[in-house]
Amino acid sequence: MTTPIPAQPAAAQKRTNSRTLSDLLVDYLELLGVEYVFGIPGVHVIGLYEALARSAKRGGPRAVLTRHESGAAFMAAGYARETGKLGVCCATAGPGITNAITGIASAHSEHLPVLVLSGQAVTHAFGLGAIQESSPYEAYFPDIIDATGMLQHCTTYNSVVTTPLQLEGKVAAAMTAALQGPVRGVAHLAIPPNILEAPAQSDSIAYPGLGALLGSQPDFVEAPALEKLWAEIETVVGNKGRVALLVGHECAGASEEILTLAEMLDAPIMTTVRGRAWVDPYHPLARGIFGPLWGHPSAFQVLDEPLDLLLAVGTSLTQAATGAWDAGVLNDRLVHIHPTETFFTRAPMARLHVRGVVKRVFRELIGRLQAAGVPANPMLEQRLAARERGGVPAQIKVQKQALMQDGSCPIKPQRLMHELATHCPPETRFMIDIGNSLPWTAHYLFQQHPENYRILFGQSSMGSSPGTAVGIAMGARGTPVVAVIGDGAFLMYGQELTVAVSEELPVIFVVLNDQALGMVKNRHSQTSEAAVKLDVPPVDFAALAEAMGAQGVTVREPADFAALDWRAMCARKGPTLVNVYIDAAEMLPQGIS
């Protein structure tokens, strides 16, 4: 006779509310100012969720339940991008952590400080094929997945806690790796439940000074390279030569230094698509984005004119940043400035590599130019006047600008960008998805506060914006967030809208509804005559949003825009979805091919 397996092992006992190592872990999160842990609970991490529930009762860090683990990672990334603090997400063992990988890779490629906490089998069951086991030491069994190994190439720190005595040291190491260094990144800790639920031996933490230690940011420049750069600039200034700037992703916090140096050198400024966040488009020297699909003709013209030095600052010089520029033409003129020397391998033609934090490098150059008697050329009044006028900056050339006022039906994407720029409050954060949303916004959406333009471009993951927008809104409570996303992308992760409903967040999801995988379809039509099915079935996204508890609005023709109260939607306690039927035949900006 077979004895039935009991529903619960006889040795199992209900846990009490006594202090555990999970409580200790939450203490470290609170020490660093963490407010939320985004994720989905599972039996392997339930001890952590119990500690978060206790923490929430006293006003400390709390859990935010997401709908998918990758959505949790996107939310942590958005929170980190908005606040500069550590973003934290949690996933259970097995499929929980593998589901999260796309969001983790996206956060890592953006160099955002995110801590990923994942579950694991109990330590004494490693190698026994426990349910959802993903331990790194037993992966030679074909039924055990090494989740830690999977994350090895999209994390800055990646480890398994195997004994209670390791927990504090590894938590401190993971937080340091995520927040410190010239380039931040994602840290991952896999923690078995028997450790998360183990009793804490102390009411205090071992590293109380960790928060203050990790609060300071690197500020350095390699002196020999700086001296060489100064000599180059001195020569160009003395010969009345011409300098231009290409501003990239790693220029956060250096906006004013970039503009001041450009003014002193009368240097036109191009940006990458991510670098656009750090340059005021209304500055008279701004020339827009250099790059394929979304670039501005005025930016390309910078390299067509005589040039003595091109300072490429904070850019990793990816294909998307450089497009089809002729590396040979830039020989002896390119200076690559970046805090991480790894990216210098993408500029073997450069005249000079300068490793340093961009803000520090530019401060040094500005001080030396001032000491050399180079006059400042402040353009603040011009910037403010141009910004007040709004619209397309006069010195930036865009393609088909007239379509931004077009009244035809179906709606031109250019017209939609004009509506967004005109009616959303200046403080609005724009979170842009991957797909047609990116080139349309990059080329046509101009903001008074460019730092509020957000994309997760490094990994270029479709569907990244719903979760990321929620994380941004959690980090800037009460501030409107607009997620611009295609219909195909929304169908991938749109369920995260329900988190915005639960949290009463004023997030507006603007869905570009062209019933197709628009960017793929657009580009394929330019390069091939072969038939490929790239259509998305018709979906009433406004009705879908209503079913999820949000407000849904449909826009079918330009006249419908007049009925939209953007400010009311931005102030609403809860999300709104605006389903915009756009012209699927309208071609993307060409940029450089």
- pLDDT digit string (tens) for 106-150? 999 999 999 999 999 888 877 777 777 777 766 566 777 888 889
Query: In the structure encoding, which two tokens stand for residue 447, read together?
Result: 């903001």
Residue 518 confidence (pLDDT): 67
Average pLDDT value for residue range 239-249: 96
Q: Where are the beta strands (DSSP E) in 258-313?
A: 269-271, 286-289, 309-313
Nearest in space to 220 (alpha carbons), one of 181, 252, 246, 257: 181
Level-2 CATH architecture, domain 399-581: 3-Layer(aba) Sandwich (3.40)
The band of 424, judged by pLDDT with boundaries at 50, 70 and 90, is very high
Nearest in space to 449 (alpha carbons), one of 434, 473, 430: 430
Least confident of 379-388, 394-403, 412-421, 455-464: 379-388
DSSP string, 405-422: G---SSBPHHHHHHHHHH
Q: Is the pLDDT of residue 172 over 50?
A: yes
Residue 521 confidence (pLDDT): 66
Residue 592 confidence (pLDDT): 46
* Cα distance between residue 162 and residue 142, in whole Å: 22
Q: Are 473 and 94 in contact (CB under 8 A)?
A: no
* Cα distance between residue 289 and residue 268, in whole Å: 12
Fold of 223-383: Rossmann fold (3.40.50)
- Residue 202 — φ and ψ, nearest 5°? -150, 155
* 497-515 confidence digits (pLDDT tens): 999 999 999 999 999 999 8
Question: What does DSSP assign to residue 322?
Answer: H
Residue 294 confidence (pLDDT): 86
Alpha-carbon dihedral sign for residues 529, 534, 537, 538: negative
The segment(s) of the chain belonging to CATH 3.40.50.1220 are 223-383
The segment(s) of the chain belonging to CATH 3.40.50.970 are 21-215, 399-581
* Cα distance between residue 303 and residue 3, in whole Å: 79
Those residues whose C-beta lies under 8 Å from the C-beta of residue 231, and which sit 6 or more positions away, are none
Phi-psi region of 342 (alpha: psi -120 to 50; beta: other; left: phi over 0): alpha
* 512-551 confidence digits (pLDDT tens): 999 877 677 676 666 667 777 768 889 999 999 999 999 9
Q: What angle do CA 340, 346, 352 make, to 5 degrees?
A: 70
Nearest in space to 36 (alpha carbons), one of 84, 78, 82, 76: 76
Q: Does domain 21-215 have CATH number 3.40.50.970?
A: yes
Question: What does DSSP assign to residue 516?
Answer: B
Q: Is the pLDDT of residue 8 over 50?
A: no
Q: Which amino acid is at 52?
A: L
286 or 533, higher pLDDT: 286
* 293-305 confidence digits (pLDDT tens): 789 999 999 988 8
Q: What angle do CA 455, 570, 491 make, to 5 degrees?
A: 50
Residue 137 confidence (pLDDT): 64
* 64-111 confidence digits (pLDDT tens): 999 999 999 999 999 999 999 999 999 999 999 999 999 999 999 999
Average pLDDT value for residue range 335-343: 94
DSSP string, 410-466: SBPHHHHHHHHHHHS-TT-EEEE-SSTHHHHHHHH---SSGGGEEE-TTTT-TT-HH
Q: Which amino acid is at 241?
A: G
22-58 exposure pattern, b = at least 16 Cβ within 10 A, e = fewer: bbbbbbbbbbbebbbbbbbbbebbbbbbbbbebbeee
The band of 10, judged by pLDDT with boundaries at 50, 70 and 90, is very low
